[in-house]
Amino acid sequence: MATIIILGGGLTGLSAAYHLEQNGFFDYKIYDKEPNAGGLCRSVRQDGFTFDYTGHLLHINDPYMDQFVEKNMGGKAAFNKIDRRSFIQSYNMLIKYPYQINLHGLPSNVITECIEEFVKRKQYIKNPKTFHTWVLKHFGAGFSKHFFTPFQTKLFAYDIKKVTPSWTGRFVPQTSLTQMIDGALNLKKEEKVGYNSTFFYPKKHGISYIIDQLTQNIRNKVQTEFNVESIDIQNKIVTFANGDFEQYDYLVNTIPLDHFLQKIIDRSTTNFKTQHKNLLCNSVLNFNLGINRADLTSKHWIYFPESQYPFYRLGFPHNFAQSMAPKNCSSLYGECSFLGNTDTETLLKKAIATTKKLFDIQNSEIITQKIISIPRAYVLYNFWREKNLPNLLAQLEMHAVKSIGRYGGWKYSSMQESVLDGKQVALELLSQLNQPIIPSTTFEQEPVFK
């Protein structure tokens, strides 16, 4: 028996554990099905290269996160602070990201269409219900045709007319006509636009560094290789595939919500089990190459909206930190999205062949290759989610289950949000349990990690 059980030892679960402990609360247990904690914040080392479970860059814009990193992750000295060099491959040109303020160099008919349609954009769409109409309202039909529709359709592997715009927030930078025309006439210098214009990356060990550091500050270790088999939410018992079981008062769930719902032994009137089918999420096939060439590119990543490229993004970790590749070598990751079943072998072959052609990479230059499959990657904001998710999470809460994090909360979120979600749930539970909360775990001062 433990008062609190945390399912999932990714960043969200670990943050919940950390914040419970910081408040002197240790009557909890944390479980993960894998042999190691970390979830998606994971790096693998192979032939001198370090590859993340696809590119993971730390974006910090919250003062608490700032201090959390300072306190638990070795502070600024352990990270490179990097100004983004990101591009978009469009009409055989590499233009700077974001598209909407960097039209310079594109064919003149594309520029004209983007600007003309921006001016005529459908201001009369008051409350866009889909991502598609949201783009028309804010950017117009030209940007929709040349960038947003092909890119987002490829990223989601899903029809953007069936996706709501509620995830856009900080992820899609807005713009003005002046900025747009300026960007069409001039080859602009890097501008700090968007949530990811500056990012932090660990100097050593890839993104798994943050997990390694955080776990050192948590006393109760993650019980690994505990795969959740069933959850009896009436009697508050979790059973694992290894036959173990544990009773709880409160359950913090960070494992994917669709999976969690299927594991519920449901004797209540609400049929949780059938609801998982409405929760949609795509998968990402992530390929990584270690290349025996020093100067592959100085870019950080490139987006690929066009359909002749099987991937939506290529990134270059050797430009995040020197330690990611041996001296005089470069490294590269590519990401391809798909929904449901797909022929991943063919997809992979095409993606690697296209990458090699783009950078004129010879077979003899490829030192190593690592393929990583991410079965749940981007949560799809379908209409069902918009209408029913809050109610579903509230019903779980009535059964003492708090479902949080990117997949527990079923959302499009970042590592920073995982830390903040974990903190919030810990403080909520401590308050429900009438436990004192130490002010330093709630403090928010001026950011120092800028």
Tally the C-alpha atoms within 13 A of residue 121's C-alpha that lie toward its C-beta: 24
Instruction: In whole angstroms, give the CA distance from residue 60 to residue 448.
Output: 11
Q: How far is the CB of 82 from ligand FAD (least distance, A)?
A: 12
Smaller CB distance to ligand FAD: residue 36 or 354? 36
Please give the sequence-ordered ranges of beta strands (E in DSSP) within 363-427, or none if there are none.
366-374, 401-403
Find the part of the chain contacting ligand FAD (CB under 6 A) among 8-16, 43-51, 73-81, 391-399: 8-16
Smaller CB distance to ligand FAD: residue 32 or 117? 32
| 98 lies in the site for ligand FAD, by CB under 6 A | no
CB-CB contact of 298 with 290 (8 Å):
no
Q: How far is the CB of 413 from ligand FAD (least distance, A)?
A: 5
Closest CA to 88 of 114, 51, 67, 69: 114
224: which residues sit within 8 A by CB, 6+ positions away?
A: 9, 31, 32, 33, 34, 35, 36, 37
Looking at 17, 18, 30, 39, which residue binds ligand FAD (CB under 6 A)? Answer: 39
Scanning 333-399, the segments in alpha helix (DSSP H) are: 344-359, 383-398
Smaller CB distance to ligand FAD: residue 8 or 150? 8
For residue 190, give the DSSP letter: P
| 194 lies in the site for ligand FAD, by CB under 6 A | no
Cα dist from 193 to 84, 86, 171, 228, whole Å: 10, 11, 11, 42
Instruction: In whole angstroms, give the CA distance from residue 418 to residue 38.
Output: 12
Find the part of the chain contacting ligand FAD (CB under 6 A) among 16-24, 168-176, 314-322, 404-412: 404-412
Q: How far is the CB of 33 from ligand FAD (least distance, A)?
A: 4
* Strand-pair category, 2-7 with 28-31: parallel
Looking at 309, 312, 320, 407, which residue binds ligand FAD (CB under 6 A)? Answer: 407
Smaller CB distance to ligand FAD: residue 163 or 367? 163
The phi-psi region of residue 225 (left if phi > 0; otherwise alpha if psi is between -120 and 50; otherwise beta) is left
| 228 lies in the site for ligand FAD, by CB under 6 A | yes
Instruction: In whole angstroms, give the CA distance from residue 34 to residue 335.
Output: 23
Q: Give the contact letters, 329-368, x = binds to ligand FAD (CB under 6 A), - = no.
A: ------x---------------------------------
Percent helix, percent strand, percent coil in the chain, to nearest 5? 35, 20, 40
Find the part of the chain contacting ligand FAD (CB under 6 A) among 146-154, 222-230, 326-334, 363-371: 222-230
Within 244-263, the residues that bind ligand FAD by CB under 6 A are: 254-255, 259
Within 132-191, the residues that bind ligand FAD by CB under 6 A are: none
CB-CB contact of 65 with 417 (8 Å):
no
Find the part of the chain contacting ligand FAD (CB under 6 A) among 73-81, 143-151, 225-233, 358-366: 225-233
Total residues in contact with ligand FAD, by rule CB under 6 A: 37
Smaller CB distance to ligand FAD: residue 42 or 121? 42
399: which residues sit within 8 A by CB, 6+ positions away?
A: 233, 234, 268
Looking at 73, 110, 115, 284, which residue binds ligand FAD (CB under 6 A)? Answer: 284
Smaller CB distance to ligand FAD: residue 62 or 191? 62
The footprint of ligand FAD (CB under 6 A) covers: 7-13, 31-34, 39-41, 54-57, 59, 226-228, 254-255, 259, 284, 335, 374, 377, 405-407, 413-416, 418
